[in-house]
Amino acid sequence: MTTPEPAGPERWPPALALVALHALGGTELNRLRLTDLDLPGAGLTVHRRSGPHRVRLDPVTLQLLDAWLRYRHARWPRTASPYLLVSQQTATTAVPMAAGTVNTEFARLGVNLSKLRADRILDEARHSADPVRLMRVFGISASTAMKYLHAAHPHRAGVIPR
């Protein structure tokens, strides 16, 4: 008889940090590979349609990711999965978790991943009001950055670019 996998306390804090602090999306979390993480360099490469985006990781996220990697290795010492986040079902395969898994796990924690991501970008837009900063920090397009800026500063809003 196998021990059931924990509900996620070891796996989901780094995922929460990657969404809440760095505004990663669910698909991006699912597709992160071990080789995308650079703990010594405090960075993470996120692969997007527009190209790779380098995320500078803060000390808290680094600690959470380090703890996750230790847990992952202790739980599945022989896993060949190239993906950073794995589950009991995917640890023994070379496929990422199912698309809905991340959203389902966030929902169990009472968090809507998409709203959390949007709130993070909106919060930064309120503080910086600089579209170039939003583009660099979050790897978003100019039009998306402007939409967040218009939402954060409606008194400055003009025509929203398409």
What pLDDT does residue 158 have?
Answer: 60
Instruction: Using the predicted structure, report yes or no on whether residue 73 has a pLDDT greater than 70.
Output: yes
CA distance 32 to 46: 7
* Phi, psi (deg, nearest 5) at residue 38: -125, 85
Q: Which residue has the higher pLDDT, 2 or 86?
A: 86
Contact predicate 98/83, CB 8 Å: no
Element (H, E) at 103: helix 99-108
Local structure of 20: helix, strand or coil: helix
Give the CA-trace dihedral at 67, 70, 73, 75, to 10 degrees: -70
Longest dimension (CA), the chain: 63
Q: What is the C-alpha separation between 31 and 10, in angstroms, rounded?
A: 19
Mean pLDDT throughout 136-140?
94
Q: Considering the chain, what percentage of its residues have pLDDT values greater than 70?
A: 90
Q: Which two tokens stand for residue 38?
A: 């650079």
**Residue with more model confidence, 158 or 83:** 83
Q: Could you tell me the pLDDT band of residue 134, with boundaries at 50, 70 and 90?
A: very high
Q: Greater confidence, 71 or 2?
A: 71
Structure tokens at 53: 């985006």
